[in-house]
Each structure stands twice: as C-alpha cells, then as structure tokens.
Chains A and B, each alone.
Chain A
C-alpha cells in the first residue's frame, strides 16, 4: 500500500499516545504502523481483501461510543480517542470471541494446521486452550461441522472433504470468517465458494454444496492461501488423519512461476529439498494470486521420468516416435554417458557438420521457458559459434505475427501497457484470447475491473468463462477477424468517432486507411464475419468513445495466415481512437510462455539481434561484432517452420534444440517429425525425453525452473528473478552451463560463473535493460522496462509522447479480409481449432508430469457444441475421430456449450492424440506463424472412422 501524502494526515490518540493517521486508513492500519498488531482473524492484511469485520477479534474502544468497534473496518478520524491494548472491555471481547471459536476447533495437534494464523492469534491473546475447553461446552458429538447439527447438509459436506486432488477441506476447523468466500468471489472472482444456511448453521459450500472436487472450482487455491485456520489446506500438507502444519517447511525461496507470461511471483516452501507447497507473493502482476498451474503444478521436476544423466543414442536404434518407448526407462534406446563424453559427442557432431557444409547447415531452437541469460547465451552460441542466424523459438508459433505488426506500425514488439491498466480502463476489448484459461491471473484483473464497471467486450468465435463478466460478448465466424475489425474501423471513420488530434500528432497514413475502409461497411462485412451490423456499430462506438480503452489479444488473433493483418487492424483501431499512451489505454498481446518476451528481447529470433535490432543492419552488426569480438552473418536466419522445410530440402543437417518440443508443437507433425528424423545430428537439452528428444543423437539433462537462478520478462515487460529452490537431480545441469560447455567446444572462450555475469553482458547489448541491474532485481524483485533511472520505477505505459519509429509516429497499415488458407468444404466441413487448457502447459511435457494437473485433466479431449455432438450421435465421453488432409487422431468428445457449431477445439498437449498431426502448416507471410487456429477437418465416431 502506498503511503498517503502528508497533506491528508492527522492525529488521533491510541492508548494514550498521539499517533499519525491518514484519511482512509482503518484503526487497525493505524495501530499496525504504530507497532501494534491487533488480533485479527477474518481480516487479511493483503491487497484485494476487503475487511469484513465479522470475527470481532479486533475490537477497540472509542471514546464517546457505547459499542466497541471492529478496528479492521473502522476508519480513523481526526481526534479520535481509541483504546486498544489499554482497554479491558476490548480485551475481554477479543478473548471472548477467541474462546468461542477455539472451543469448536479440533485440538491443536489434531488440527489441519497446527501453525495456522488462528493458533498464532490464540497465542497472542494467551488463550489457555485446555482451560477454555474445560469451561465452555464444546461442539456436540455427531454435529460434525461446527456448532449445529446439519440435517440438511449432504453427508459428504460434513467436516472432511478430500474430493479434490490439490486441496483438503476440513470444516471442523472453519470459523466462518468468509475469507475464502472473498478470496473466491472478490479476489479471484471465480464465484464458486459461498455461504449456505443461516445463523449457527451457516457453512461454507462449493457451488450448491457439492464436493469440492465435483464443483466448478478451478483450483486457483486462493482460498487455501486465505484460510486462517487450515480448514482449507494444500493436500500435500495434511496427513491421512487430517493433521497438518503449514510451517513444516525448513526454508522458503522467493521466485517466479514457470508457466505463463503473466509472471506471478511466488514462494516455494521447501522441506528436505522437496517443495511442500507454493504460495503467491505480492508481485506487481499477481498481487499474491496464482492459478492452478503455478500453485499446484510444481512437482514435475521430481517425476520418475526426469532425466538425470546425459544420454547417447544406442547404435542401430532408429530415430522416431516409438510407441513402445517409455520416457521413464530410456535405456532401451539410449545409453548413459558422462558429461564429458556427451558434450563432446554433442558438440563434435555439430562442429563436423559445420566444417563439412558450412555454417548454414546448423540451426538452433532456444526456449521461452528458460531464463533471459540462457536465451542470450543460446542465440550468441548460434550466431558466434554456429555462424548463422538460424535461431528461433516458440514465439514463432505464438505471437510472431503480433510482433511483426507491432514492429511495423509502432516500432516496438512489446505491450504498450500492462494488463493491470485494465483496472483504469472504461472499455476493454478481449479478442482471440481466453484469459481465464491461458492467463488466469490476468483474468482476475479483468474480472475485478468488470465488477467495478469497466465494460469488457469479448470478440471471439468461441464462448468463454469471462463472458459472464462481459458487457458484450460477440461471436464471429472463425477466421473472419479482419472483416470484423475493418467494419469497426469503417464505423469509427464514417461516424467521425476517431481522435483527430491524436491522429494528427502521433500517426501517419490515416488518409490511406480512411479511403481503404470506406467500402467495408458493417453491412458489407456482416456476411463475412457473421455479426449483425448493429452489433458491430455498438462495439465500435463503445471502444471509440470510451475515455480510456484497451485491447488485449492472444493466439486467436496471431495464429492465422492473416495473423499479422489481424494485429494491424487492432493497432489501427487503437491509433485511430487515440487509445494508447495514457493510463487505461493500450495494446497488449498477452504473451504465452513465462519468458517469451524475454527470450525474444534477448534475440532468439532469426532476423533480429537482441532488442529487435535487424541483423541486416550493418551498424547493428558492427556493435555486436565488437561486443562479441566475432564477425556476424548479415543474412537473416530461417524461422521454425522454415527450418523444418530446410531439413527436408537437405540444407540444414544438424540442430541443437534446447527446451523446445517441435515434435509436438509444430504444425503438420508428420512433416516436422520426418524432418527431425532426417537430421544427421540432433542434440536435445531438456528435462525429459520429450517427443523431440526421441529423435536425438544426444540428450543433455537440463534444469527445471525451480532449480536455477535467472531473470525472466513477463507480458507486462517486468523483469523478475527466478531463484534456485531445489538442488539439481542426479547429474542434471543448469541450461546456461550446458550451453557454455557446447560453446567451449566450438572454440568460444566463454567463462560465465553465474547468470549475473551473463546479465551484465546483456546490458551492454540491450538498451532496454538500462537502469536495471541484477542487484536491483534482487532488491526490488521486479523492474519494468523501459526504466528511466536507477531509482525510478519503469514505465507501465509507454509511448505517451512518441513512438520508437524513425518519424516518431505510428503507422496505419490497411488490410483486406482474406479467407483462411484451408477453408472448410464438403469433404472437410468442420473447423478445427487448437489451443491450451487451464491445467496443461504447451506440449504437456511439464504439466502432464505434475500430479495434480494430470489428475485434473488426465486424457485427451475434444470440445464440441452440444448440437455438434448430437449431430454425430455421440454422447460426452465417447471416442471421436478427427481427420484432416494431414492426419487423424482419436480422442474423447467433451460437451462444451461455449463452442459454436461447426467447430471442434483440441488442446495440443496430448502426445497420444497430438492435435498438431492435424494442423495446417500454411504460414502468415510476415510473421511466419502457422494457422493453428483454423484447419478444415472431418468428425466421425471413432468406430466409424
């Protein structure tokens, strides 16, 4: 909480002492600043938690008032005379409350959390639990929950509920403080937990008193983090008998979540070098919140199939996906090797190919899952060791088109404003994104904003959880983004809703856009995009006339052959309406991987050096040649899918793949896998024998995120520190160390002792890191770039004055609607679209090895509209075969009312039914991104296929 300015300060008397207070502060906060922690149970001293004043443990006496007041809620006023520690009445009331609650608790040693906040407060008040139990009647036998018998309750809800794999419920310890209700409804805004019944029969329920595991709970675990008694606990902390201890950890390590681009800060609680549980930390982009992956998906590094030894392919074992292969027992196909041998074999294969065929015969895929420093080292290895620019990573498959459009139009590929700015916006457009699933903690900011009155406009072919919070949810025809957006531009221009002054001052090319969209009226575009003209007008007007509006987009925008055009349209909308550069405005492509922003910034991109400086620019090259003391290839390198094609063409013969899984993530997998099999030498560095590693000659056991130090950059441009929390298992090594060892074998004399050394070098090549030092990151946990000074915060909103283009102006880039590359037809009449699930990350290599996540989503599913299922004669759970021109997979059908008819959604994380066997590899001409979001397919019951 920011300290209020002194102009709003005043004084009051607390226990006879004059103390300072500020307008809006509660008496509890005043006392806290004065050094006193007033006992509290239902009040959580954390951002986002409204004080409720129900437990009455924080009562104070205010002179002149008959009744005592709850200090957590009572606002301080000038001249108030308050008695807290000095008040006998307050002390009696606090103790009385505590005793009433305590007597209903299980005994401390039998309780689900013997170190709970509740017991700490009982200790603070010096309550003698034994004496209280002797004096006061206790919970009646048989009345399992709390104070009253609950004839009406379902049996499962009495006391213990172990129906969820991640959390344990024990209502015997519940004090009905409703912190979990606030956590669920107000903080994370998931609306699952509620209070049922009345008076002494009140109880916490999930949905309609369903078992937690059967409820609509999305397992964000916010309630567990909020619960002061242990009634809600991480399952890992509670034993069979229901006893637990949240203080069981022997150490804690502050780090960052390894999953999505939100970049939630978290704390690992560790005992005996194992993670016990994970807690959200008060980071700028998560405010203590986490999602199911970040909170419960942490045990993958200790999965039995974790690689702990370098492996070399056995002679005469064919490369490829062998259904009989067991990643937990790789010695059927590989043999163990020492690090020296493995590194020598790995490097020699590459060095030899370079010697025989030249630098262009090698390529590398770095990883957006690794640190900035590792990304830097990897691209440096390719550029200075391999000798080409054939280095890319999964950004190619996610936001390459967005970045292409942003670079072209505004001269910068990063977001212009953080997603927290949504709280300041009047209107927020969410298009081609599904934040509740893919950026769950960012979604909490959107939902909170919506509750405060921000109008959320969702434009998407599919429905989603956030529809419930949307002002308007507009479903348009798949692939018709450009038609819809141009129609919106047409409305804005024909109705004069654009911001003339902004356009004049900050942009160029508006006249061309004006002329360009003149014929793309809502009526003309309505047929293409399937949206009523009036709806198009309404949405356009809402966005254009809002005082402050933002646009967020995801892969639904970028993963099309017209992905760059999609993003251009969104940029034009923002520029035309002057909706950038101010708080509550901006353009924000929600980045996917935890470090896709940082890996891109660090130069894991074939056409640009770090900080997006073109390799074709001689001056840029010269600077890096000086920094690295090596000549650099002036030719831009090949992108992910192009590299696969080049392998087929025989020009690329050797690859080093670090933490990427193209054998699952590339489009048209059959083609990609063939390519991997054709490589003469493939080195894969990963945690597991992934599908890609099954094609490797050498596999190098690398580090999981919680096992190493390194910085990452999230979707908000916030650079944050990950810290080693666990020892590396077996012989596994940090990725940066492995890259360095390969580099050494290319004759590069690297000698980095720690990622901080790499970071120091990065600062010399990346102006974006100005004023951000490793020490500052250690101190401040998170620093946003660009940052104006060592002692100033970074810019949450950028480009208020000028854009980083030659002219300082942003550019309109007109577009025309184009059909998808592979439109549906009679033979393949259904649209196949792919993406992620809440519980699973990317290709599933980590999350399918995380116990809780795998338990929640254990098998491959395809989501279909109820009508679509009915048409196929299938019931939910039946086997469905999906066929495209490239392949077929069979998996279970799931009913999903949010799906439009004529479409099927398949998550791409399931190796046993890999969605990308089906997808179309056609590329966007600018971003070189494949059209993962649209392929023509045919559906059939599995037996009929």
Chain B
C-alpha cells in the first residue's frame, strides 16, 4: 500500500528547501523499496514549521517539521511512513503529532484559509472534494442583486486595508450601466510582512477564481484581471495553470457550467511598484500606463479600468466570498466583533519566533496573537513595538497590545489593521530609525505625482536625520509635525496621507529614541 506524503510547494516552503526534501524523499524511498505517493500540497501557513512534511494515516495527517533534505534518511529510518511516528522518546525530534491537533492550528478559525495545505492546489477534483465551488453553485441560482445583498449582509469589508464595505462597492458597480464591467483583483501584495494573498493564490488558487467569478455574476462583469506583483512568479505559474484548468472544466469562459453566464480571467504582472497596490495606480498600470494615482472621484466603481465600472477588491476580500455564498452571509457575519465581521488573516513576521498565517475572528488581542501564536520574539529579547497593517500604519507600544483587533478600535488610537501584516520588534529597535524608514519608504515608493508625498517624504527623511543628529531638535520636531500635516491634508492618496501615521506614532510612543545619539556620530 502506497502511503501519501505531503511536501508543500509554496514559495516559503520552497525557499526553505522543500524541493530538495521532496526529491530526497522519493530517492530514498525508491532505494529502500518503500511505496509512497508524493503530494505537493500548498502550505498550511505555519512558516515556522516549513518545510512541513505530512504523512497520511488512517487517523489523519501526522506532521513533521521543519524538515530539511538531510533529515529524510533519519525520518525514514525512524519509520516515517509507518503511520505512527510521533514525538517523544520513541519517536523523532521532528515529529509533531497530528497536524490538526497542533495548538497553533487548532486555535485558529479558518474560514478563508480552510483548505490551504490540505489539497493539491491545482487539482480541481481536490478542490471540489474539499467543498470547493459550492459558493459558485449557489451563486448561479441567484440574481445579481441577491448576490450583492448576500455580501452586504455578511458584513465583509475590504481586506486590502481601507475596510470599505465590499457589498456597497459591488452595489455601485451593479447599478452603473455600461457595455463592459470588470472585476480586478488587487494581488499587488506589497505591505511589509504580508503574505496572505500569496498563500491564498499559491495554495488555493480556485478559491480566488471562484470568488472573482461570483463577483462577476453579482455586478455583471464578464472580464476579470488579477493584478499580480511580479515578485510572485510561482503564484503566476499556479494561477495561470489554474485558470486554464478552470476554463477546461467549464468554470471559466463563455458559458460557466452551462449557466449562460460568461466570465474570463487573466493574470497581469506588475512591475515592482508598491504604489500600484493603490487601486487607481493599479488601474493605470493595468491599462499599460505609468502607475500614477488617479484623482477620485470618479470612483473606480463608476469609472475604473478603461473608464468602465470596475470592482477592485483585494485577494482576501474576493477569497472570502465563496464561503459567504456556500455557508450563507449569516455564518460569516456571526463571527467577529462590532462592525468588523468575519475573520482576519494575520501575518506574523519580523522578529517573531513562530511566524506565519493566523486566521482569527476579529476581536482577539494583539498580545494573544504575538505571544500565544507568535511565541514572542525570535531573538528571545523582550518585545518592544509592533507595526500592524503595513508601512503606512502605526507602530504600537505595549500599552496598546491589548486592543482588540477591530478596525474601529485601531482607528480610534490612530492605528490601522490594514492588510493584517504584523511586524514585531524587540527592544533593540531604534524607533527613530523606524520613523525615518517610514519616510524613506514613502520617498522611494511614492508615485511622485503629488507634491506632499513626493517632496514631503524627502524632506521628512532629512528632518528626522537632523533630529537624530541633535540639530535644533525642538524646531525640527515642530517642522516634522508641519510636514506630516501637509502630507496628511495635501496628499492625493493614502501613500502620502498615511505615512505620517507611523512617524507620529514613533514620536508619540517612543520619544526617547529621538533623543539618543545616532551610532557613529
């Protein structure tokens, strides 16, 4: 009997040697005359355990990790394929026991990421076997307005960071008459410490395809584009293949599952600009132009891609939709707190012991996340600050770690949940340097169109340098405040408008860091 062994093939696992693990496993098994069926599944999102090798047993999968190729002979010696290799004295140091029982997984609430790591990402059969396309099935029986209502009722809000109610955006597109409408998926995942979009696309591509198809049905769009950052080549390969398979199986094309509805999908690559994650820049870039931010209004929902009504949604917003249709809006809305409904895909990164994807209902605290899931810092030093929501969001000091993860609660203290990136810093961090980094990031990644963002950030870097050098500290701190104000009030988009958030938070919560001499001075 051939044993099924899972070795993930997402970018994280691959970069940690998963291919070598897989090759070694096959070679060693062959040499030993062991029968095994190798499945290249997606990652389960536990970056700290990758490559996470799993062995299928009658009682579920057993986990081993992190495994490197050199571990394979020892694991086989210890009986990897026997189905009962566990940790402990009689087992193997890499054996983790049943995967699902690992607290790191067990304590998560995976709605959107329910399937990642379980399946072969490109197998439609596997997808269907794991509840895939149930949302679309339902959707095909509904009217566009019913679909929009369902999404509205779920309380889903844009997961890209702005948290705009997805259903209301869809309603606008549905209500705007046009000869052509578009669904555009923003897969230009560029925030520091984020990788949830990539995991979704690499590990469960049909989920996104299904979500976009439902969106197309809901608003009357027949063409979708996934705007994918070029730094995700594997996601591109997987999405392209998945789209081809979906077309062949009738899940995309002119007549989706015999419904008479059409939906076509294409992946387009970005060119390395952070700003193209901003929706109007993204549309410009998608149209083949320089990635410059557009003035709003008009909203993309009314005049978007090529001037047509366009839904621009983040990967995670679209990926949440199949669950909402399959299980009903209420099932999604039942989870969460306040106006933040459903789950949030948090990505633990930076100086963290157990990094990876943690999907939780809104409402959990940062501290829970960083300590119980993250296990503290990788360095073992005390945590000092955390940046949640990417480079345009605030740095949070310990006093704010008990805030519930909720859009409104974060906004109240000038922070943001953003796209769910959580970057942790230990006590060796120089927050003045982090403030400078925020300005520098803006300076480098600004589209350059508007003055406050383009020049304000440049001057911001220089002013922070002066402050750190102890030059006219009071005057320059005041000047930095004015610069921040000009950027907040004058910028064309959130890039310049929100860069002051991390800067101000560093100034407010870590003022001492701006008073110490810079190394080398």
Expressed in whole angstroms, the Cα–Cα distance for A806 and B108 within the complex equals 92
Task: List residues of B (436-480) whose CB comes within 8 Å of A's CBs.
Answer: 442-452, 454-459, 462-463, 466, 475, 479
Task: List residues of A (196-245) whose CB comes within 8 Å of B's CBs.
Answer: 197-202
Interface-lining segment among B140-148, B236-244, B361-369, B489-497: B489-497
Q: Return the chain A residue nearest B478 by Cβ.
A: A135
Interface-lining segment among A96-104, A122-130, A467-475, A693-701: A96-104
Q: Return the chain B residue nearest A77 by Cβ.
A: B297
For residue B273, CB closer than 8 A to chain A, the reply is yes
User: Do residues A93 and B486 form an inter-chain contact, with CB atoms below 8 A?
Assistant: yes
Residues of B within 8 A of A75 (CB): 297
Interface-lining segment among A66-74, A606-614, A892-900: A66-74
User: Do residues A68 and B475 form an inter-chain contact, with CB atoms below 8 A?
Assistant: no
Task: List residues of A (72-105) whose CB comes within 8 Å of B's CBs.
Answer: 73, 75, 89, 92-93, 96-97, 100-101, 103-104
Q: How far is the CB of B230 from chain A (nearest CB, A)?
A: 15
Expressed in whole angstroms, the Cα–Cα distance for A463 and B297 within the complex equals 42
User: Do residues B458 and A68 form an inter-chain contact, with CB atoms below 8 A?
Assistant: no
Residues of A within 8 A of B444 (CB): 198-200
Residues of B within 8 A of A135 (CB): 475, 479
Q: A147 is contacted by which of B290, B442, B454 (Cβ under 8 Å)?
A: B454
Expressed in whole angstroms, the Cα–Cα distance for A100 and B462 within the complex equals 13
Q: A200 is contacted by which of B290, B446, B475, B490 (Cβ under 8 Å)?
A: B446
Residues of A within 8 A of B442 (CB): 199
Residues of B within 8 A of A197 (CB): 448
Do A198 and B452 form a contact, CB below 8 Å, given A68-B490, A96-B490? no
User: Do residues B479 and A68 form an inter-chain contact, with CB atoms below 8 A?
Assistant: no
Expressed in whole angstroms, the Cα–Cα distance for A665 and B39 within the complex equals 84
User: Do residues B489 and A68 form an inter-chain contact, with CB atoms below 8 A?
Assistant: yes
Residues of A within 8 A of B463 (CB): 136-137
Expressed in whole angstroms, the Cα–Cα distance for A75 and B296 within the complex equals 11
Q: How large is the interface on B (under 10, 10 to 19, 20 to 34, 35 or more residues)?
A: 35 or more
User: Do residues B459 and A199 form an inter-chain contact, with CB atoms below 8 A?
Assistant: no
For residue A710, CB closer than 8 A to chain B, the reply is no
Residues of B within 8 A of A54 (CB): 449-451, 492
For residue B483, CB closer than 8 A to chain A, the reply is yes
Q: Return the chain A residue nearest B273 by Cβ.
A: A198
User: Do residues B446 and A96 form an inter-chain contact, with CB atoms below 8 A?
Assistant: no
Do A101 and B451 form a contact, CB below 8 Å, given A195-B290, A199-B446? yes
- Interface majority SS on A: helix, strand, loop or mixed? loop
Residues of A within 8 A of B275 (CB): 198-199
Q: How far is the CB of B210 from chain A (nearest CB, A)?
A: 35
User: Do residues A97 and B447 form an inter-chain contact, with CB atoms below 8 A?
Assistant: no
User: Do residues A96 and B482 form an inter-chain contact, with CB atoms below 8 A?
Assistant: yes
User: Do residues B458 and A147 form an inter-chain contact, with CB atoms below 8 A?
Assistant: yes
Q: A59 is contacted by which of B443, B445, B454, B489 (Cβ under 8 Å)?
A: B489
Expressed in whole angstroms, the Cα–Cα distance for A68 and B489 within the complex equals 6
User: Do residues B486 and A100 form an inter-chain contact, with CB atoms below 8 A?
Assistant: yes
Q: Return the chain B residue nearest A147 by Cβ.
A: B458
Do A56 and B475 form a contact, CB below 8 Å, given A137-B466, A195-B448, A200-B444? no
Q: Return the chain B residue nearest A57 by Cβ.
A: B451
- Interface majority SS on B: helix, strand, loop or mixed? helix
For residue A53, CB closer than 8 A to chain B, the reply is yes
Do A200 and B443 form a contact, CB below 8 Å, given A92-B485, A92-B486, A96-B490? yes
Q: Return the chain B residue nearest A135 by Cβ.
A: B479
User: Do residues B489 and A100 form an inter-chain contact, with CB atoms below 8 A?
Assistant: no
User: Do residues A92 and B459 form an inter-chain contact, with CB atoms below 8 A?
Assistant: no
Expressed in whole angstroms, the Cα–Cα distance for A544 and B455 within the complex equals 54
Q: How large is the interface on A (under 10, 10 to 19, 20 to 34, 35 or more residues)?
A: 35 or more
Q: How far is the CB of B301 from chain A (nearest CB, A)?
A: 17
Q: A201 is contacted by which of B297, B448, B449, B466 (Cβ under 8 Å)?
A: B448
For residue A481, CB closer than 8 A to chain B, the reply is no
User: Do residues A199 and B456 form an inter-chain contact, with CB atoms below 8 A?
Assistant: no
Residues of B within 8 A of A89 (CB): 489
Task: List residues of B (477-521) whose CB comes within 8 Å of A's CBs.
Answer: 479, 482-483, 485-486, 489-492, 497
For residue A55, CB closer than 8 A to chain B, the reply is yes
User: Do residues B483 and A96 form an inter-chain contact, with CB atoms below 8 A?
Assistant: yes
Q: How far is the CB of B9 from chain A (nearest CB, A)?
A: 33
Residues of A within 8 A of B490 (CB): 56, 59, 68, 93, 96-97
Expressed in whole angstroms, the Cα–Cα distance for A733 and B115 within the complex equals 92
Expressed in whole angstroms, the Cα–Cα distance for A194 and B455 within the complex equals 19
Contact with B along A146-188 (1 / 0, CB 8 A): 0110000000000000000000000000011010000000000
Expressed in whole angstroms, the Cα–Cα distance for A96 and B479 within the complex equals 10
Q: How far is the CB of B297 from chain A (nearest CB, A)?
A: 7
Q: A148 is contacted by which of B447, B451, B456, B458 (Cβ under 8 Å)?
A: B458
User: Do residues A100 and B451 form an inter-chain contact, with CB atoms below 8 A?
Assistant: yes
Most chain B Cβ neighbours within 10 Å, of A54, A75, A148: A54
Q: How far is the CB of A88 from chain B (nearest CB, A)?
A: 11
Expressed in whole angstroms, the Cα–Cα distance for A93 and B454 within the complex equals 15
Q: Return the chain A residue nearest B442 by Cβ.
A: A199
Most chain A Cβ neighbours within 10 Å, of B443, B451, B475: B451
Most chain B Cβ neighbours within 10 Å, of A96, A97, A200: A200
User: Do residues B492 and A136 form an inter-chain contact, with CB atoms below 8 A?
Assistant: no
Do A67 and B497 form a contact, CB below 8 Å, given A96-B486, A97-B490? yes
Do A198 and B447 form a contact, CB below 8 Å, given A96-B452, A100-B456, A148-B458? yes
Task: List residues of A (44-68) whose CB comes within 8 Å of B's CBs.
Answer: 52-57, 59, 67-68
User: Do residues B451 and A198 form an inter-chain contact, with CB atoms below 8 A?
Assistant: no
Q: How far is the CB of B460 from chain A (nearest CB, A)?
A: 10
Q: Which 5 A-B pairs have the closest CB atoms?
A: A96-B486, A202-B448, A199-B446, A137-B462, A56-B490
B interface vs A, CB < 8 Å?
Answer: 273, 275, 290, 295, 297, 442-452, 454-459, 462-463, 466, 475, 479, 482-483, 485-486, 489-492, 497
Q: Please give 10 more A-B residue pairs, beta carbons under 8 A apart, in addition to A197-B448, A199-B446.
A: A54-B450, A56-B491, A67-B489, A68-B489, A89-B489, A93-B490, A96-B456, A97-B490, A147-B454, A198-B447
Query: Can you list 28 contacts pairing A with B, beta carbon distance less than 8 Å?
Result: A52-B295, A52-B449, A54-B449, A54-B450, A54-B451, A68-B490, A70-B295, A89-B489, A92-B482, A92-B489, A96-B456, A96-B490, A97-B451, A101-B451, A101-B455, A104-B455, A136-B463, A137-B459, A147-B454, A148-B458, A178-B449, A198-B273, A198-B446, A198-B448, A199-B445, A199-B454, A199-B457, A200-B448
